[in-house]
Amino acid sequence: DIVLTQTPLSSPVILGQPASISCRSSESLLHGNGDTYLSWLHQRPGQPPRLLIYKISNRFSGVPDRFSGSGAETDFTLKINRVEPEDVGVYYCMQATQFPRTFGQGTKVEIK
Amino acid sequence: QVQLVQSGTEVKKPGASVKIYCNSSAHTLSDHYMHWVRQAPGQGLEWMGIINPSGDNVNYSQPFQGRVAMSRDTSTSTVYLELSGLRSEDTAVYYCVRAGDQYFDLWGQGTPVTVSS
């Protein structure tokens, strides 16, 4: 199984400041069709996760442009340009290149 | 706005089975692969498996093989998850998830399942 390792696991941030989360994969996530199926999800307390970013860097519908994704092969990053109060919660990376689908452990973002 | 609506809270005894359903509030799911993901209290996300649009092909995560069954009724656009041989470690919130192009674009509200004697 592909293992996704996120760092940091906890990120106290100041409102209006940037934040960054790393996701490292145990194997390349480059699919044979040329796509890389790495997504980012955000989960607020008591709510289901919601999709932020898919295929490394594509913002899902309605996601603010302060969120951006980058990376390739085994190393990926989610950046929040300027953290806002509604950005608190847990962020997960997820791969859909291989079965079984796997998730990172999650990174908790909270306001300092 | 399209929503996935899941069945309600379940409380089961060890060894029992649970069957959860998921359907769409306003949009057919018949064209989509559907996944099930669970989340134990205070823990991360765990993928359980996938069912294809016609319901005749499934792929289960190895830890659940032998005691999980995913199915769907295309006439009602409903998908089902059945988990048998429940144990305390199965206490979790279970989510149905719609798949876009290999991404999870729509999540149900979750069904809490508690396994306790």
Tens digit of pLDDT for each residue in B43-58? 999 999 999 999 999 9
Beta carbons of B97 and B108 less than 8 angstroms apart: yes
Beta carbons of A100 and A112 less than 8 angstroms apart: no
- C-alpha to C-alpha distance for B109 and B77, rounded to whole angstroms: 17
Q: What is the pLDDT of residue B27?
A: 67
A contact set with B (CB within 8 A): 35, 37, 39, 41, 48-51, 54-55, 60, 92, 94, 96-97, 99-106
Q: What is the pLDDT of residue B74?
A: 86
CB atoms within 10 A of CB A41: 26
* pLDDT over 90 at B35, yes or no: yes
Tens digit of pLDDT for each residue in B62-111? 999 999 999 999 888 899 999 999 999 999 999 999 998 889 999 999 99
Tens digit of pLDDT for each residue in A30-67? 999 999 999 999 999 999 999 999 999 999 999 999 99
**A35 with B102: Cβ contact below 8 A:** yes
- C-alpha to C-alpha distance for A81 and B114, rounded to whole angstroms: 39
A50 neighbourhood in chain B, CB within 8 Å: 107
Q: What is the pLDDT of residue B96?
A: 97
* pLDDT over 80 at B1, yes or no: no
* pLDDT over 80 at B28, yes or no: no
Mean pLDDT of B24-50: 91
- C-alpha to C-alpha distance for A48 and A58, rounded to whole angstroms: 20
Tens digit of pLDDT for each residue in A58-108? 999 999 999 999 999 999 999 999 999 999 999 999 999 999 999 999 999
Q: Which of B59, B102, B107 sits opposite A96 (nearest CB)?
A: B102
